[in-house]
Amino acid sequence: MSYLLDANAFLDLIRQRNMKIKDQYILDLTIYETGNAIWKEHALFKSITLDEALKLMINIQNIVSKMKVIRIQKDLDKILEIAFRKHLIFYDAAYLYFAKKYNLTLVTNDSKLYDSAKDEEIEVLKSSEFQE
């Protein structure tokens, strides 16, 4: 089975040191979302040090090199249609679109995205349920 990890699940699984995510899928925007989350943790919330943030990003870089990264650029209009139809932010609509397009199981900890995936009959898991 193949999985598409959204940014929150991706970061959660990295923190759990779950190496089963190698060879799975993320969107190119997942990398930016993850970087922004790490920035917030250091710069705004002061929950990690700069050194911890940098080490985490190096770890992410290494893991991403072993994953399949889907570029979203060719399907922006279709993603936006889903965002409007489902009342989702564009990022979340992208995860729904590509999970459905490539028949991937979506892994997310976001309850609204989880429920939207169920509504769209997309297989969906929370990161705590993720197993390869």
| Residue 126 · residue 9 · CB < 8 Å | yes
pTM for the predicted model, two decimal places = 0.95
DSSP 87: T
Where along the chain do its domains lie?
3-127
The CATH code for residues 3-127 is 3.40.50.1010
Q: Specify whether the CB–CB gap between 118 and 99 falls below 8 A.
A: no
Coil/strand/helix, residue 56: helix
pLDDT tens digits in sequence order for the chain, 132 residues long: 899 999 999 999 999 999 899 999 999 999 999 999 999 999 999 999 999 999 999 999 999 999 999 999 999 999 999 999 999 999 999 999 999 999 999 999 999 999 999 999 999 999 999 975
